[in-house]
């Protein structure tokens, strides 16, 4: 059902096709653009409701410099300038460099783009798609899709992301009151 939902969204297909034109190594369209779209379709809300941006990630360990990533970011800005939402681009081979300073938590070095989802604050958000060369859409969801389709935001305790989980859950609940929020283990309900 997820692939059918993605295929029915012109903005998501536009991003997936643009990803192919950018020809990045190991690209994925991840997170909010996917799970928020599912919730919008299932609740019959307008397609872009609650979607702040689209996260396009790739994995290039051959050049982990900020300068190399910035070149890709600028190429993507030009490619996606016509979209109604911004496309945020990040090289997952670099995340372990800047994550601890930004979030105050150590971050493991990744080996591919899909590894990032193992560290998301919410298991529900760990979903990504890619348009393959043959036109098929592949789905990457290490924790499965049950939470998304059950309107359940579930924490992922792999990293100390309690604050991020709570913030993302609270924001989502304002847009989709149908959601059930599972609190971080050991924390009082919000």
pLDDT of residue 105: 85
Q: pLDDT of the chain along its 190 residues, tens only?
A: 999 999 999 999 999 999 999 999 999 999 999 999 999 999 999 999 999 999 999 999 999 999 999 999 999 999 999 999 999 999 999 999 999 999 888 999 999 999 999 999 999 999 999 999 999 999 999 999 999 999 999 999 999 989 999 999 999 999 999 999 999 998 766 5
The answer to whether the CB of 90 falls within 8 A of the CB of 72 is no
Task: Give residues with Cβ within 8 angstroms of 151, minimum separation 6.
Answer: 39, 42, 176, 178, 179, 180
Please report the DSSP string for 8-44 in residue order. T-HHHHHHHHHHHHHT-SS-EEETHHHHHHHHHHHHT
Distance in angstroms (rounded) separating the CA atoms of residues 22 and 17: 9
Residue 190: its pLDDT value, please?
A: 55
Whole-angstrom distance, CA of residue 182 vs CA of residue 176 = 15
How far is Cα 119 from Cα 160, in angstroms, rounded to an integer? 9
Q: What is the pLDDT of residue 189?
A: 62
User: Within 13 Å, how many C-alpha atoms sit on residue 63's CB side?
Assistant: 10
- Beta-bridged to residue 153, according to DSSP, are 181
pTM given for the model? 0.94
pLDDT at 104: 87
CB–CB of 63/95 below 8 Å? no
DSSP structural state of residue 116: G
DSSP state of 85: S
């Amino acid at each position: 059902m997820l692939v059918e939902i993605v295929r029915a969204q012109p903005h998501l297909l536009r991003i997936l096709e643009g990803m192919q034109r950018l020809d990045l190594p190991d690209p994925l369209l991840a997170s909010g653009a996917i799970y928020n779209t599912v919730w919008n379709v299932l609740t019959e809300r307008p397609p872009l409701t609650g979607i702040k941006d689209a996260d396009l990630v790739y994995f290039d360990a051959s050049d982990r410099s900020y300068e190399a990533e910035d070149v890709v970011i600028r190429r993507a800005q030009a490619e996606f300038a016509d979209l109604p939402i911004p496309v945020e681009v990040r090289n997952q081979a670099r995340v372990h460099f800047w994550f601890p300073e930004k979030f105050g938590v150590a971050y493991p070095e990744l080996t591919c783009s899909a590894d990032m989802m193992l560290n998301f604050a919410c298991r529900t958000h760990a979903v990504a798609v890619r348009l393959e060369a043959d036109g098929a859409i592949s789905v990457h969801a290490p924790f499965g899709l049950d939470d998304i389709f059950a309107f359940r935001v579930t924490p992922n305790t792999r990293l100390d992301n309690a604050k991020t989980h709570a913030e993302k859950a609270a924001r989502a609940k304002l847009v989709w009151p149908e959601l059930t929020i599972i609190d971080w283990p050991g924390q009082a309900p919000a």
